[in-house]
Every structure is written in C-alpha cells, then in structure tokens.
Amino acid sequence: MAVSSPELEPSQLAAILARKATEDAVALREFEGNPEIADSILGFHAQQAIEKWLKAVLAEKGVDFEYTHDLRRLIELIEGTDITFPLDTPKVVMFTEFAAPLRYEDLLDEEPLNRRAAVIVVSEVATWARGILESEHA
C-alpha cells in the first residue's frame, strides 16, 4: 500500500516525518548509555529514526512510498529518484531487523547491538536527509 495524504502537502508530510525521526534519534541517544534498556529497544528507535528520515526525503520529493519497515526498499525508492544515497547501505539496512513486527522474535537476542555505531548511523542518515530537505527549501 502506498502512503500519501490528500490533506497534507509533500513538504508538510516531510516535516512531520523529520520531526518524528528526530524524536526517535533523541530517544536512541538518551538510552545509549543505560544498560537497563535492552538492545532491542535501542535498535527499534534506530530503525524508526532511519525509516522516518528516508520517508521524509521521499515525501519531500513527492514520491508515494509503501507502508513498510524495509529500509532496503525505501533506499531503492530513493535511488529511483534523482537522489543518490551516499551512505553504507548494508550498515543502514541491518536495522530493519529491529522493526516493530520483528521485535518479538528471539532473533534479536543473539548478538549485542553496537550502541555507539547505531547512534552514528542514525546521525549520518539524519545529516544526509536534513541536507536534502533543506536544499529543497533553499
């Protein structure tokens, strides 16, 4: 299912998604040093922040996107536009495993999350996405 909103302009939807992405990124940063918060929670916020940043870029470009947590698919949609995704795709895509539907599986308990690396990847995606969004309004 493609997502678009007849009541919102693309730039309005992009702004909402960017704000929500920032909220998830802040949670990730705040939780990073707390050992009582499970890696799956941090991974979830990393995945959500990345997903929302990617969708914000797509929305800004007026591209309908699917209701999906699949980061690879969202990057493919971006690369189908005039935008290049310059980041390490496998490093970004690996957060798909922390998406909401997968959070209940034991799969996430096998290998510890590199929390610092998660914060860095989310920060890199945010910087790239903000650059795209700001260039559209310059």
Q: Which of 56, 67, 48 is nearest to 16 (CA)?
A: 56
Domain ranges for the chain: 9-136
What are the angstrom distances between the C-alpha of 49 and each of 2, 23, 59, 101, 122?
20, 8, 15, 16, 7
pLDDT digits (tens, 9 = 90+) for 22-81: 999 999 999 999 999 999 899 999 999 999 999 999 999 999 998 889 999 999 999 999
pLDDT digits (tens, 9 = 90+) for 109-127: 567 899 999 999 999 999 9
Cβ-based burial of 72 (10 A; exposed 0-12, middle 13-18, buried ≥19): middle
> What does pTM read for this prediction?
0.89
Q: Which of 94, 115, 113 is nearest to 32 (CA)?
A: 115
Q: Say which CATH superfamily domain 9-136 falls into.
A: Nucleotidyltransferases  domain 2 (1.20.120.330)
